[in-house]
Amino acid sequence: MTIATIGAFCIGEFPEAVAVMLFYQIGEVLQDYAVDKSKESIKSLLNIKPDYANVKRNNEIIKVNPEEVSVGENIIVKPGERIPLDGIVIEGNSMLDTSALTGESVPRTAKIEDKVLSGCINQNGLLVIKVTKEFKESTVNKMLELVQNASEKKAKTEKFITKFAKIYTPVVVLVAVILAVVPTLIWGNFTQWLYRALSFLVVSCPCALVISIPLGFFGGIGKCAKSGVLIKGGNYLEALSKTNTLVFDKTGTLTEGVFEVQSVNPINISKEELLKLVAHAESYSNHPISNSIKKAYAKEINNSIISNIQELAGFGIEATIEGKNILVGNEKLMLQKNIKFVKSTEVGTVLYVAINKEYAGTILISDKIKDNTKQALKSLKEHYITKTVMLTGDKKEIAENIARELEIDEVYSELLPDEKVKKIEELLKQKESNKSLAFVGDGINDSPALAVSDIGIAMGKLGQDAAIEAADVVIMTDELSKIETAIKIAKKTKLIVKENIIFSIAVKIAILILTAFGISNMWQAVFADVGVSLLAVINVALGTFLKATKCRIGDVS
Amino acid sequence: MKRDIIKIIIALILFVISLTISFNPAWINTVMYVISYIIVRIRNCNKSH
């Protein structure tokens, strides 16, 4: 562009030279504005960074940088202040505004022993919080890091255009030089051929593509952020637009993950004693099943009687409680440990318990399908998804029961975490090459599956750090309907990018042909370059920024 | 951003004036084009630096 405008000046075509540079600058300003808007949307997700922490040291309250607070220290959060670090409430109760993290406008209650996350705003009561994570490891910092890295991962189209521009520009300059020199040597009239060469140079400038494509993806990421969906890069947004297979984890994703103990069936032991031993064995686990047992036990856990806790992924837990060896888990655990047991016929999650290798009974726990799941899946299948699959470590009967209710196409049950990964690999081989498979999960055991699929979508329960880190897309709330929102935005973004590519190239080719025949002049060339760039930027702005408000929570149906 | 917009507006005004009015002597038009060009070109250079 610089060569073209200086050349135009040299041959006395001042208006054209200024017009090219001027309209190009207008395009750039519009682009900057659009990028700023998008950054604002992403930053609104990030408007969660706490500036200070009130830490209690030597009976004094000191205002310090959150990074200077250590694990185990007590911090005080006054009404209206942002919680600076993750922790557990040890004094006071209050309502927390979690909207900056989850997009959820209804405040949550925080009382003693509740886990609270950094970034939330304390609305009314004074809270004393025992810090459980350093700032570096806190939810707020992890979210900031994820978002800041989002724009660095480029989509395939974006990468192609960057590479294309690098090769294309020198080639075009060379062709322009040839166009100015060779015909002059044959037919003379250098000024006329230089004018045509300069027009050619202006038309061929790939500004429209180089500016509008990254801007399109960036806009899409920003729009998703506004709707409470964090996309970790343009490449994932592009993959999301091609998604036609959704694979779900069951617990915590399709179901509430809030289990309740339905019945305790002891053998040669009292109900209370069985529940006590199991609650102590499960005391270190945060799995929803463990939480339901602790809730049913409803007494304080005595840590001094617990030792040798071992989590057996996909099987259960082994621990020593009051000197007794306790095994709590599924049928597989009993079979693996050669314990004779009576198979339960009850529908639900059955925990088998063995004390000192002797079968001691079962505990029946059941889960509930999330309220919005059925509607969200139905809508996804109507609009974007051709196949839904459920993978679960749970029993076949429970899995099939839930799948039937949710009209899920394929169910694979009783899977260990590594078997889930193998199943996803199989499904990846079966899918069409130009389509994507997304896995939706939430637990730590879902991390490998999230990593191996084309796109890993984590239900951001904001606490399951491993899942959030392994995922490519994080739904900040627990709403499955947000997946549809994200796919919708991804498809719209892809459409805008395609429109810009086709429109820019078509106009440029047309004007190039006209220029070669001497039919068009520099003004048409200016339109083909900066005019098209401007229109492409406006197209992105119209598609992603101006309509952004329409895609807020709950608006996509 | 505001400064950039002001610069572009000034350049645009100069450009439109010199495009619509033929001054006598003609070099006034040329100077206006050159100033307009320099204003936007400097913005471009600053940005790339």
Q: Which residue, A338, A366, A394, sits at the end of a domain?
A: A366
Give A32's contacts in chain B (Cβ within 8 Å).
1, 4
Q: Which residue, A440, A458, A486, sits at the end of a domain?
A: A486
| Extended beta strands in A241-386, E state | 243-249, 260-266, 306-312, 316-321, 324-329, 349-355, 358-366
Quick check: A313 and A419 in contact, CB under 8 A? no
Angle at A481 between CA A451 and CA A253, to 5 degrees: 50
DSSP string, A414-439: S--HHHHHHHHHHHHHHS-TTSEEEE
Nearest C-alpha of chain B: how many angstroms from A18?
5
Asked if residue A142 belongs to a domain, the reply is: no
Say how far residue A165 (Cα) sits from the centre of its chain.
30
Q: Angle, to 10 degrees, between the axis of helix A14-46 and the axis of helix A139-150?
A: 160
A397 contacts chain B (CB < 8 A)? no
DSSP string, A186-236: HH--HHHHHHHHHHHHHHH-THHHHHHHHHHHHHHHHHHHHTTEEE--HHH
Expressed as residue numbers, the domain containing A286 is: 260-366
Give B33's contacts in chain A (Cβ within 8 Å).
14-15, 17-18
- C-alpha closest to that of A143 among A280, A50, A215: A50
- pLDDT at position B13: 92
Nearest C-alpha of chain B: how many angstroms from A143?
28
Nearest C-alpha of chain A: how many angstroms from B49?
15
The CATH number given to whatever domain includes residue A432 is: 3.40.50.1000
ipTM exceeding 0.95? no
Q: Does A32 lie in the same domain as A158?
A: yes
Token pair recorded at residue A501: 């590519």
Quick check: A253 and A442 in contact, CB under 8 A? yes
Q: Using CA atoms, how far apart are residues A415 and A406, in angstroms rounded to an integer?
A: 20
A33 contacts chain B (CB < 8 A)? yes
A26 contacts chain B (CB < 8 A)? yes
| A409 counts as catalytic | no
Give A21's contacts in chain B (Cβ within 8 Å).
37, 40-41, 44
Q: Which residue, A366, A388, A410, sits at the end of a domain?
A: A366
Give the nearest chain A residue to B10 (CA atoms): A22
DSSP string, A119-141: T-EE-SS-EEEEE-S-GGGSHHH
The number of distinct structural domains making up chain B is: 1
Expressed as residue numbers, the domain containing B31 is: 2-48
3-state class (DSSP) for residue A372: coil
Give A14's contacts in chain B (Cβ within 8 Å).
18, 29-30, 33-34, 37
Give the nearest chain A residue to B40 (CA atoms): A22
Give Cβ neighbours of residue A366 (< 8 Å, ≥ 6 apart).
A259, A260, A262, A347, A348, A349
Asked if residue A59 belongs to a domain, the reply is: no
Q: Which residues of B touch A (CB under 8 A)?
A: 1, 4-5, 8, 11-12, 15, 18-19, 29-30, 33-34, 36-37, 40-41, 43-44, 47
Average pLDDT, chain B: 81
Nearest to B8 among A5, A14, A26 (CB): A26
Quick check: A438 and A236 in contact, CB under 8 A? no
The CATH number given to whatever domain includes residue A318 is: 3.40.1110.10
**pLDDT (tens place) for every residue of chain A, 557 residues total:** 777 777 777 777 788 888 888 887 887 787 777 777 766 666 665 556 677 899 988 878 888 988 889 999 999 998 888 888 989 999 888 888 776 665 454 567 788 888 888 888 887 788 899 999 888 888 777 766 765 565 556 667 777 777 777 787 778 788 888 888 898 898 888 888 888 888 888 887 777 777 778 888 888 888 888 788 888 888 888 889 999 999 998 877 888 766 778 788 988 889 888 999 999 888 877 666 788 888 888 888 888 888 888 877 778 888 888 888 899 988 888 998 888 888 887 767 788 999 988 899 999 887 778 888 889 999 999 988 999 999 887 778 778 888 888 899 999 988 777 788 889 889 988 888 888 999 998 755 676 787 788 888 888 655 455 566 667 888 877 788 889 999 999 999 999 989 988 998 888 888 888 877 778 877 888 888 888 888 888 888 887 765 544 443 333 33
- C-alpha closest to that of A218 among A390, A427, A35: A35
Asked if residue A48 belongs to a domain, the reply is: no
Q: Does A426 lie in the same domain as A328?
A: no
Q: Does A153 lie in the same domain as A168?
A: yes
Nearest to B40 among A14, A15, A21 (CB): A21
The number of distinct structural domains making up chain A is: 4
Give the nearest chain B residue to A32 (CA atoms): B1
Asked if residue A143 belongs to a domain, the reply is: no
Nearest C-alpha of chain B: how many angstroms from A39?
14
Q: Does A216 lie in the same domain as A166?
A: yes
pLDDT-derived band at B49, boundaries 50, 70, 90: very low
Asked if residue A49 belongs to a domain, the reply is: no
- pLDDT at position A146: 63
